[in-house]
Amino acid sequence: MGCSTGSRCRRVRADAEPSPATNPDVTRPRLPALVALATAAVALAAIALGPPADISPTIWRAGFVSLVATSLWATAVVPEYVGVLVLFFLAMILALVPASVVFSGFHSGAAWMVFGGLVIGASVQATRLGERIAARASGLLAGSYRRILIGLVILTSALAFFMPSANGRVLILIPIVIALAERIGFGPGTQGRTGLCLAVAAAAVYGAIPIMPAGVPNLVLMGAAETNLGIHLRYADWLVTHYPVSGLVGLAALPFIVARLFPATVAAAPPPADPTPVSAAQKRLVLYLVAALGLWATDALHGIAPSWIALGVALLCILPGTGVVAANQVLLRINFGLWIFIAGVVGMGLLVSHTGLGAVLGRALFSVVPLEPGADFRNFVVIVAIEMLLALISGTAGLPAIMTPMAPTIAAATGWSVETVLWAQIPAWSMAPFPYQFTPVLLALALAELRAAAALRMMVAFTLFSWIALIPLQFLWWRALGHFG
């Protein structure tokens, strides 16, 4: 289609990210590809040579298989689901763990949450409900690009207090944000659209960290503390310990980080809202979404996991009689590669736990950098850094399963309480530099059809900000609260 408004077309093209098809550099050898190739070669050679006498062959092989998969995901030299298939293949031919462990991700709640989310997101787009809601919201969020980013971060993080599922927040908001981006001139591939969607994804993730029931890693830590140590973490203590720094300071910085990485300008006011009446399909979908929000917000009362709520709503969207869009149309819109990837990430976390690799790595890292009573800031930095490294293979949700059993030993070495050692896991979650470590980020990438490299830029930048600002501030706040006594 031609451009009758040439100035707008030129603005959108200047704002757009470069296309690989038009970039001559994509055919040249790239550093990520060389890194992935070298890592794979070293890992396969180590597996072939076998472990030293003091290391279990299973743990040795599991470590290098995890390294191969992680390098493929981190460098993004192949689609993420290809890295998962490599992981599945190597884990099975090397007989690392039973197939029930390797493929356990396919019956995990995370994978089905993503599947349900993709169906619901496709339904929101197909019925154009997102456009209608965006038309209403554009008046409230009108203004500069940075003001819109701030509004989206506040809205997304505020929902964390009422909707426990970070995936649910992304699922509801991303289709609306996509429609909002279109209304203010940010089309597919533009920096502005990328920034708005990533702001929501980041706020959903980082806004959940300081609120106890608002994220999967939080719930895993709660369960691991009760099961392994008999410690019941309390909501108020969690909020007071983490929200002032991780919540207020981290979320306040987020819009400015996104605006710097993905600069854009809102050139004109959005067009007026569509005067056409609300369709029957849109009314049904609104009813389903309101029901989902209510069920997600009250899951502590009825006990139905957020994943199965999402799947139930997805079924309502496509079943004859209740559906809002034909099932075959939805299937064409779904990225099944993401679904496979989520299952693989979950499976690798269980592989690391099942083989004992995580505990071995944790003990090895702490032996290299020992802890000392009284050296609180050094101990704090060392513990967070080691947990950040372990989360590269376990994922943020798998980290508590590795670190929680070691908490009494770490407490004895540092002179801290066991609860303070448990708290020290949480700052590491804000320093996960790769998209594969957070399911909500992957869901946002799939719904918005964004490249993983964009999320990688944002997450690396937030990790650096965390090390420079959040970690020192968190330490000072904890010392004021007496956690290092």
Domain shared by 82 and 163, yes or no? no
Determine, yes or no, domain membership for 13.
no
Tell which wins on pLDDT, 169 or 461: 461
Determine, yes or no, domain membership for 424.
no
Reported as a single tens digit per residue, the pLDDT across 56-104 is 888 888 888 888 887 787 776 777 788 888 888 988 888 888 888 888 7
Domain shared by 258 and 198, yes or no? yes
Determine, yes or no, domain membership for 23.
no
* Residues 182, 433, 167: CA angle, nearest 5 degrees: 50
Determine, yes or no, domain membership for 366.
no
Domain shared by 84 and 120, yes or no? no
- Asked whether the predicted pLDDT for residue 213 surpasses 80, the reply is no
Reported as a single tens digit per residue, the pLDDT across 255-267 is 999 999 999 888 7
Domain shared by 142 and 164, yes or no? yes
Determine, yes or no, domain membership for 214.
yes
Domain shared by 155 and 116, yes or no? yes
Determine, yes or no, domain membership for 65.
yes
From 243-247, 305-309, 386-390, 469-473, the region with the lowest mean pLDDT: 305-309
Domain shared by 39 and 120, yes or no? no
- Please give the pLDDT value at position 292: 81
**Alpha-carbon distances, residue 381 vs 209, 384, 420, 460 (angstroms):** 18, 5, 14, 18
Domain shared by 89 and 228, yes or no? no
Q: Give the whole-angstrom CA distance, residue 422 versus residue 222.
A: 10
Total structural domains within the chain: 2
* Segment holding 187, helix H or strand E: none
Q: What is the b/e burial string over 58-85, where b = at least 16 CB atoms within 10 angstroms of the residue's CB?
A: bbbbbbbbbbbbbbbbbbbbeebbebbb
Instruction: Write out the residue range of the structural domain in which residue 77 sits.
Output: 30-96
Tell which wins on pLDDT, 109 or 230: 230
Reported as a single tens digit per residue, the pLDDT across 449-480 is 888 888 989 999 999 999 999 999 999 999 99
- Please give the pLDDT value at position 10: 39
Q: Of 72, 96, 120, which residue constitutes the final position of a domain?
A: 96
Determine, yes or no, domain membership for 386.
no
Note the residue count of the chain. 485
Other C-beta atoms lying within 10 Å of the C-beta of residue 374: 9
Question: Could you tell me if 395 and 204 are in contact, meaning their C-beta atoms sit under 8 angstroms apart?
Answer: no
Q: What is the b/e burial string over 231-252, where b = at least 16 CB atoms within 10 angstroms of the residue's CB?
A: bebeeeebeebbbbbbbebbbe
Domain shared by 129 and 228, yes or no? yes
Domain shared by 245 and 269, yes or no? yes
Q: Of 333, 350, 377, which residue constitutes the final position of a domain?
A: 333
Domain shared by 65 and 182, yes or no? no
Other C-beta atoms lying within 10 Å of the C-beta of residue 23: 10
Q: Give the whole-angstrom CA distance, residue 186 versus residue 202.
A: 19
Determine, yes or no, domain membership for 397.
no
- Please give the pLDDT value at position 12: 39
